[in-house]
Amino acid sequence: MLIVQKYGGSSVADKSRLLNAASRVAEEYKNGNSVVVVVSAQGDTTDDLIKAAGDINPKASERELDMLLSTGEQQAASLMAMALNGMGLPAVSLNAWQMGILTSDSYGKAKIEKIASDRIKRELSDGNIVIAAGFQGINRKGDITTLGRGGSDTTAVALAAALNADKCEIYTDVEGVFTADPRHVENAVKLDNISYDEMLDYTTMGAAVLHNRSVEMAKKHDVKISVRSSFSDSEGTYVCGEKSFRLVSGIASDSNVLLVTVKGISDIKKECAVFALLAENDISVDIVMSRRDSGKLRFTVSSKDMAKTERALAGIDYEINDCLAKISVVGTGLETNPGVIASVYKALEEENVDMELMTTSEIKISVLIDKNDKDRLVKALHKKFFE
């Protein structure tokens, strides 16, 4: 059996955790399996590197940032190989350029386009455990790119797809996918299964369990993902299948949201111009609300794009509200179930929470509320739908 395992930064944060992860790998290998291990940078390494860069140049280019950040995964990969070698097992660490992980050009959030897996296959057939540096790729210019926060998940799924792996296991510091963030909602329930679409909505809505693109890629290539904890033996959550498993699958929240209000929008042409500027500057927009009658265009972007957005909109009449959080009820066929929206309104009323705006779709109901009300509302919604 060919198994791809991915260990996140917290699962390899220090010596004992790294060795713990290594012994999981060792077990699978000793059972006769071929194993590809994808690792993230250890613990706070990536944050520390970003800090070091900011100290030298607060406006460092994304090309150079990728050059810098990719070293974190390279270090973790070589240390993991050393750990397995220390257990008497053959292991070899590989970088993106060695694995032929070709990505789009854009630094900082590149997309994997192709994997030339010859080298990995050769190492596996030589009996080696392959330790893959996650999060990184190379583009057509021959430069190092990174895949964005959580990109190692995508590396794992992409490798599982390219190698036609039998299993793709994502090890993290939580036991699986929960109906809400278990750190904030004590009654949160672990799901045994979740469909790609449900998971996709869920991650888009701010549940940080899996990298969004990894789920898209898993869906595209039909890779069954197992999300589980590297610190316990309990079964995790399987992400697979087209069919939804439940009406409401979870409550997600996201504090990294900015609400931008652009004024003086009199016609569609002006609206187009704004989105053209956003696209040119590579700024992803989430919720959009256009009300021609008020002359206002409102949309949300991620907090991390604050500076970019300000640059893009320079000279335009706009306001940014950064005191909001987005709470989303994620599920399937929500629009055809008016009861769900009614329950959301009920929770807002009972908790006396004002909302800035609400959007609904077939698969999610999102409300923008004051950050201070976030935890209270999430608990109330969780109670309504799961307890």
Q: What is the contact surface with a second copy in residues (CB under 8 A)?
A: 15, 18-19, 49, 52-53, 55-57, 59-61, 63-65, 67-68, 70-71, 74-75, 77-79, 81-83, 85-86, 92-93, 95, 97-98, 119, 142-144
Least Å distance between CB 186 and a second copy?
Answer: 37
Nearest distance in Å: CB 137, a second copy: 14
> Which residue's CB is nearer to a second copy, number 92 or number 207?
92
Single-letter amino acid, residue 96 = A
CB nearer a second copy, residue 137 or residue 331: 137
Q: Toward a second copy, which CB reaches closer, 84 or 191?
A: 84
How many CB atoms neighbour CB 189 within 10 A? 15
Residue 124 Cβ vs a second copy, minimum distance, rounded to whole Å: 16
**If you compute the radius of gyration of the chain from its CA atoms, what whole number of angstroms results?**
22
What values do phi and psi take at 325, rounded to 5? -125, 155
Please list, in sequence order, all residues whose beta carbon lies within 8 angstroms of the beta carbon of residue 367, skipping any fewer than 6 positions away.
Answer: 326, 327, 328, 344, 348, 355, 356, 357, 358, 377
CB of 81 to a second copy, least distance (A): 5
d(CA 276, CA 294): 21
How many degrees, rounded to 5, is the angle at CA 154 between CA 150 and CA 156? 110
Q: Is 70 or 179 the residue whose CB approaches a second copy more closely?
A: 70
- The CA distance from 329 to 271, in Å, is 29
E strands within 332-381? 355-360, 364-370
For 117, which DSSP code? T
Closer by beta carbon to a second copy, 70 or else 328? 70
- Minimum CB distance to a second copy, residue 220 (Å): 29
Angle 375-378-379 (CA atoms, 0-180°, nearest 5)? 85
Between 82 and 316, CB nearer to a second copy: 82
- Sorted by sequence, the CB contacts under 8 Å of residue 217 that are 6+ apart come out as 112, 154, 157, 158, 161, 223
Q: Which is nearer to a second copy, 51 or 220 (CB)?
A: 51
Q: How far is the CB of 25 from a second copy (least distance, A)?
A: 14
Give least dist CB 16 to a second copy, A. 11
Q: Which two tokens stand for residue 148?
A: 């964005």
C-alpha torsion angle, residues 275, 276, 282, 283 (rounded to 10): -20
Report, in Å, the least distance between residue 165 CB and a second copy. 23
Nearer to a second copy, 56 or 314 (CB): 56
Q: Indicate the DSSP class of residue 320.
A: E
